[in-house]
């Protein structure tokens, strides 16, 4: 029986960990958590997102701009996130409306699609 989702993984180019941390930890304000020693040689880093983990792995030869694959981060105050990301020079992309939610998308510095989503009050 599957009981939950432990983590999801995205990838960035090999050697881009500093730029990845600058974006995910500084701009998106996510907290890095220590990887086990046995996995550190693989590169990348892990992030705590609520009660789940996002593993940021390294992988070359991938055109991340050509995929719809993405993570959707649930946020509070979506309008403030829109302003914050726009101030960082990030292009905001409007998604197809979903009943009960406000949302938008953007691409991280590596081309990964990212969605920020906020439930609307009923």
- pLDDT value of position 2: 94
77 touches 83 (CB < 8 A): no
64 touches 11 (CB < 8 A): yes
DSSP for residue 42: G
How far apart (Å, rounded) are the C-alpha atoms in residues 105 and 116? 6
With a cut of 60, say whether residue 21 has pLDDT above it: yes
- pLDDT value of position 47: 98
CATH topology of domain 7-119: 2,3-Dihydroxybiphenyl 1,2-Dioxygenase; domain 1 (3.10.180)
Close Cβ partners of 110 (under 8 Å, ≥ 6 residues apart): 11, 12, 13, 16, 19, 20, 64
pLDDT in tens, 34-61: 999 999 999 999 999 999 999 999 999 9
pLDDT in tens, 69-95: 999 999 999 999 999 999 999 999 998
pTM: 0.93
Q: State the average pLDDT for the chain.
A: 96
Confidence of residue 121 (pLDDT cuts 50, 70, 90): confident
């Amino acid at each position: 029986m599957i009981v939950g989702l432990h983590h999801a993984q995205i990838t960035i180019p090999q050697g881009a960990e500093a730029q990845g941390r600058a974006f995910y930890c500084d701009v998106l304000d996510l907290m890095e958590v220590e990887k086990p020693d046995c996995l550190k040689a693989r590169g990348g880093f892990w992030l705590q997102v609520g009660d789940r983990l996002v593993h940021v792995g390294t992988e070359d030869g991938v055109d991340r701009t050509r995929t719809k694959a993405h993570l959707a981060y649930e946020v509070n105050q979506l309008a403030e996130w829109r302003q914050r990301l726009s101030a960082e020079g990030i292009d905001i992309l409007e998604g197809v409306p979903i009943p009960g939610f406000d949302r938008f998308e953007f691409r991280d510095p590596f081309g990964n699609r990212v969605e920020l989503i906020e439930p609307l009050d009923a």
